[in-house]
Chains A and B, each alone.
Chain A
């Protein structure tokens, strides 16, 4: 069974601080995605990474896919209250469209 463990589970920080969220697995994924979910809504895709070692930036968010394609990280610079939400990583094994989701990191950014 493929499992994706995220850490930390909860994070409460002040506006302007930096943070990193981790997504780890013992399985290899052909692609890995990060989603953000806000209360009362479904998850919304932030980024997809497909190449080992790949780094993608989305404004203040930096995503990295591990060299072995088993792990990923999300780094937020100068967090803002609008970044508050549940961050989910999701992996798909090669040749499938079966996405497995991580345990989630609930982020709260205080003004």
Chain B
């Protein structure tokens, strides 16, 4: 139990479906992240939110839409995905920025949501 919970753990969707991945952290952290993990590729940073503000968007296609309503919750809305989007999507949190200074601390990961796009 890392304090970061992701749901659902497994998701199968067609290319025309709309679904969402949810992440919740109980650690009091201020930064939350979405990473994509595909076979034979490094963990890819997708989005970073710090204090609910999006600070990174790593050239992610618009069919992925993040939402961070508060510092404890993070969503990834999915629509018209492609089969190559099938991967493990990992959510993580960290302490984040404090008083304007970045705090490079530990990343706490959830167990991931395994997405299969048919």
- From B65-73, B78-86, B97-105, the one touching the partner chain is B97-105
Q: Does A100 contact B (CB under 8 A)?
A: yes
| Contact indicator A98/B106 (Cβ below 8 Å) | no
Secondary structure call for the B interface: strand
Chain A contacts with B in 56-105, Cβ cutoff 8 A: 88, 90, 92, 95-104
* A53 CB, min distance to chain B CBs, angstroms: 18
Q: Are B92 and A48 in contact (CB under 8 A)?
A: no
Q: How large is the interface on A (under 10, 10 to 19, 20 to 34, 35 or more residues)?
A: 20 to 34
> Which residues of the partner chain B approach A92 to less than 8 Å between Cβ atoms?
102, 104
Cβ of A30 < 8 Å from any Cβ of B?
Answer: yes
Pick 19 A–B contacts, CB within 8 A, sort by A.
A4-B42, A41-B112, A42-B111, A42-B112, A44-B2, A44-B109, A45-B106, A48-B106, A90-B43, A90-B107, A97-B94, A97-B105, A98-B45, A99-B33, A99-B45, A99-B107, A101-B35, A103-B42, A104-B42
